[in-house]
Amino acid sequence: MKNTIITFLVLGVSITAYSQNNCECSKTLKQLTIKVEKEYPGFSLKTKDSVAYESFKSHLVGLSNSTCETNCYDVLKKNTDYFKDGHLAIIRKNTENIEDSKIRTIDTIDIDVEKF
């Protein structure tokens, strides 16, 4: 009986721990927002209407709380797109095809300079 209880307890904890949502979109959005507000040179120019910016930021926080990793990029992109500046962007890191992204060697050909 004792072994059965321990087994169910361990199994229950394992299932609960496995099913936890490890999405950190809201944390990532907060870090991005802080970085933009502190380091982006055009921030004060692009956010003259602070009420509109704060409203937009609150909307994004709400989205990030209900968004998981697969759609988090879209929420972060909305943040940078707000400023309409090509110098401010985020880039999705592609981790699926690491082998495909490596530099490959190509065939070389000999060129005779005199005939060229």
1 part of a folded domain: no
Which pLDDT score is estimated for 69? 74
11 part of a folded domain: no
Which of 10-24, 70-84, 101-115 comes out lowest in average pLDDT? 10-24
52 part of a folded domain: yes
109 part of a folded domain: no
Structural domain for 82, as ranges: 23-96
Pick from 43, 79, 44: nearest CA to 60: 79
18 part of a folded domain: no
Q: What's the domain count of the chain?
A: 1
Which pLDDT score is estimated for 114? 82
6 part of a folded domain: no
pLDDT over 90 (residue 23): no
76 part of a folded domain: yes
104 part of a folded domain: no
